[in-house]
Structure 1
Amino acid sequence: MSDVSMLWTGLDYERSGKQSDYLRLPHSSDLSAYGWIPIPLVVIANGTGPTLLLTAGTHGDEYEGQIALNRLARELRPEDINGRVIIMPALNFPAVMAGRRVSPLDEGNLNRLFPGDPKMGPTAAIAHYVDKVLFPKCDLVIDLHSGGRSLDYLPLALAHPGSNDAHREKVKSLLNAFGAPFSVLTDGSGGGGHTTLYAAAAKRGIPALTTELGGGATLSPRGLAIAETGVRRVLKHFGIASGLDVDDTSSTRLMRSLGREAAIYAPEGGLFEPNADLGEMVAAGDLAGRIHFPDSPMRDPVELHFSNAGMISCRRFPTLTQRGDCLFNLMTDVQ
């Protein structure tokens, strides 16, 4: 895999001040042989403090992070900063403009393509730039997500637990500073595993978190507020913008994901009738829901039961369901 990125920008990451331009993603099409796709990029730098990379729009149908980072990009001033903040509110810009989880250019799911490869298409080239160019500049990484059109989520932050004791403590410090209602330690099973942005950052030893702040491809006002407050808490806690007016107290509840072994997946396609809700505590054997069959009205629905006890962290949003769709995920308190 090449270490040379196809993407470029006119911004100087080492320059003090506030810069706003684009990361340019080359894309050759019928009507634009030598064209490029603009990915908005804001860099605010001053002093010698840490560098924080903030991304959203990794999936285009997740909106809380996009709005939170747009607002932050407008509000932060160089004189507020000791360090550097790199803000990318629409990282997978083609997906953002299409309102889709994946890119319309190549059907690429950016959060399943890390560490990326410039020879594997435009979406993998974005991942490659983040991994090879941006991560080496960063001390902290936050990638803001929500459930998109297929899931509804409790507002929470997630992180890989860390590769050693020092890394684990830094991850916990980052989660506590962000202060989501729930902070979940996970290995990514059932999701992207080690192919996600925050997992790739963690692999480099960078304290990194992601979030889930709503769902249903609409805007959660509560999720937006958590994103805005959480990012500002991190900026203040790590001394990057210590003068920000934000409540820096945190009452996050530390959890661990129970992974795909405790998740419920649709065994057949049909209409999903949930019997449990977000945040509910369930026991092994409890009824999770039913799958009804619109093409066979005389057929009894299939009943689904939880195999583990835990708290419901997410639930499928659409009713129409196909075999293999994730219906519920569970988490439990860290002991």
Structure 2
Amino acid sequence: MSDQTQVWTPVDFEADGKQCDWLRVPHSVDLSGYGVVPVPVICIRNGAGPTALLMAGSHGDEYEGQVALARLAREIDPATIQGRIIILPSMNAPAVEAGRRLSPLDDGNLNRSFPGNAVGGPTAMIAHYVTTVLLPMADVAIDLHAGGRSCDYIPCALIRSGGGAREHQDLRALACAFAAPVTSISDGSGGGGRTTLSAAGGDLGVPVLTAELGGRASLSKEGLAVAQRGLRSVLKHYGILPDDDADPLPETRFMRVRGRGAFVYAMRKGLFEPAAALSDAVQAGQIAGFIHTIDRPWLEPEPVHFSESGMVACLRAPMLTVPGDCLYKLLVDIDAD
């Protein structure tokens, strides 16, 4: 089995200037036997220098990053940079077109598909191209997310704890440059972390910062502003946009997920009534919400409790819930016991 990518593009990543085109992902269907899935890509280059790989739309119903990167691609003049910026504003284009977390072509979750497969479905081929072609070009990568339709997030950044002291130091410096209000440090062991873009970057030695910028399949003005400021700040930090005159950003607050108890899950089907809001400080044992029974509304709703203390970083958006749905995610300060 060949591991050579089938994805191709007319973009010359070594050419100076601004190029706007598509990645072509082969996809043969009944009415298009030789068709491709078009994935927009922008390459902005000016001479030698570092490369930043900037991505959004891994999940199609997460919008702050898509808007921020499309705006950045329009605004950046190649003459103002030193190095190269590669931008994929809608990395999982079929999911973006459908407004879904997963691709409608193969039900692929792009950020659970790394390192990908050169001869897999469209989602696996996109992941493989990013892993084998784009990430090896990069000195830094940023992957912008939000909660999509299923949840809402405080604007925050996420970095892995790193495989060594130097990697951890580079990731912390990247997080400080992006300067989200909160940065969560994780070992990547939960939530499919081993198959994410961050994991692929870690394996290649490329610092990757992920951001969660809002949710509910809407556009958070606060999250969009965090993305726009943070992107330019990182580009300046790496010397790619040396003359950017943006105001200095505040320090980020480093936090972490204490353990699996930081997640609160539904144990039954029903209508979820939250009792805490984003950014609330909650205590172990505190009521997190209630689940109302649909078919027996005369029964008292079932209370749900927090098993740990912390700050609410993520909250489920839809009221309708089934067993196993995540209702909350909590963070604690990095030096918390």
TM-score, structure 2 length as denominator?
A: 0.97
CA shift for structure 1 position 190 = 4.0
For structure 2, the 5+ residue unaligned runs are none
Q: Which residue of 2 aligns with 1:82?
A: 82
Encode CA deviations 1:20-54: one digit per residue, 9 max, x unaligned.
Answer: 11100111011100011110000011122211000
CA shift for structure 1 position 326 = 0.3
Q: Which residue of 1 aligns with 2:175?
A: 175
Q: Which residue of 1 aligns with 2:116?
A: 116
Q: Which residue of 2 aligns with 1:57?
A: 57
2-side partners of 1:151 and 1:52: how far apart?
A: 29
- What is the correspondence of 1:221-300 to structure 2 with a 5 Å cutoff? 221-300=221-300
- What is the correspondence of 1:70-109 to structure 2 with a 5 Å cutoff? 70-109=70-109
1-side partners of 2:300 and 2:218: how far apart?
A: 33
1-side partners of 2:90 and 2:259: how far apart?
A: 29
Encode CA deviations 1:227-278: one digit per residue, 9 max, x unaligned.
Answer: 1110000011111101112123332111112343321010111110111111
CA shift for structure 1 position 189 = 4.2
Q: Secondary structure at the match of 1:9?
A: coil
2-side partners of 1:9 and 1:260: how far apart?
A: 42
2-side partners of 1:259 and 1:230: how far apart?
A: 28
User: How many pairs align?
Assistant: 335
Q: Which residue of 2 aligns with 1:318?
A: 318
Runs of 4+ in 1 over 3 A off after TM superposition: none
8 Å contact kept, 2:22–2:41:
yes
8 Å contact kept, 2:148–2:217:
yes
1-side partners of 2:259 and 2:57: how far apart?
A: 25
- What is the correspondence of 1:197-212 to structure 2 with a 5 Å cutoff? 197-212=197-212
1-side partners of 2:2 and 2:195: how far apart?
A: 18
2-side partners of 1:213 and 1:234: how far apart?
A: 16
Q: Which residue of 2 aligns with 1:126?
A: 126
RMSD over aligned Cα atoms: 1.1
Q: Which residue of 2 aligns with 1:191?
A: 191
CA shift for structure 1 position 100 = 0.5
1-side partners of 2:127 and 2:17: how far apart?
A: 26
1-side partners of 2:224 and 2:316: how far apart?
A: 21
CA shift for structure 1 position 121 = 0.8
Q: Secondary structure at the match of 2:132?
A: helix
8 Å contact kept, 2:162–2:187:
no
CA shift for structure 1 position 80 = 1.1
2-side partners of 1:205 and 1:172: how far apart?
A: 14
Identity %, equivalent residues? 56
TM-score, structure 1 length as denominator?
A: 0.98
8 Å contact kept, 2:6–2:119:
no
What letter matches 1:135 in structure 2? L
2-side partners of 1:303 and 1:209: how far apart?
A: 36
2-side partners of 1:13 and 1:22: how far apart?
A: 13
